[in-house]
Structure 1
């Protein structure tokens, strides 16, 4: 298997892992079970992966982690909107 294909497949699964949580939050408008600190740490980590991917010119790393940044920023935004 081509290593870029493997990277893309791994990135799709990793990046998509928070989508069910985002959908649940958007449906229920409830963020009580979310940890904003965890989201900040995750956003920082995947942002650094994007930077690393840019430095190494690795498109699978850049794309999958950029998508993960967007999903997690969306969750953090929901947290700020829906927190009590």
Structure 2
């Protein structure tokens, strides 16, 4: 497989991972209701992105670092809003 094809597939995967959190973040922020979000699931998801980002750093793989750090920020935002709006 060519490097270009691999980079295109990786970029598309990263974009999908990152943007998949946006609708949920927007909904939680506008409704101030995170009751539908599973704390356990998002805690595991955030842990996953922390580990993948760490792996990228250890292997010096910047596409993995960037993609997973961005996804970590998005999923971390959902998790933070879950905690912030938990009593509503």
- TM-score, with length taken from structure 2: 0.87
Unpaired runs of at least 5, structure 1: none
Residue 35 of structure 1, CA deviation: 0.6
Q: Which residue of 1 aligns with 2:86?
A: 83
Q: Which residue of 1 aligns with 2:69?
A: 66
- TM-score, with length taken from structure 1: 0.91
Q: Given the alignment of the two structures, is residue 52 of structure 1 paired with residue 55 of structure 2, yes or no?
A: yes
Q: Which residue of 2 aligns with 1:36?
A: 39
SS of the equivalent of 1:61 reads helix
State how far apart, in whole Å, the 2-side matches of 1:8 and 1:55 are.
20
RMSD: 1.2
Q: Deviations over 1:27-67 (max 9, x none)?
A: 11011101111111000011111111112221111111101
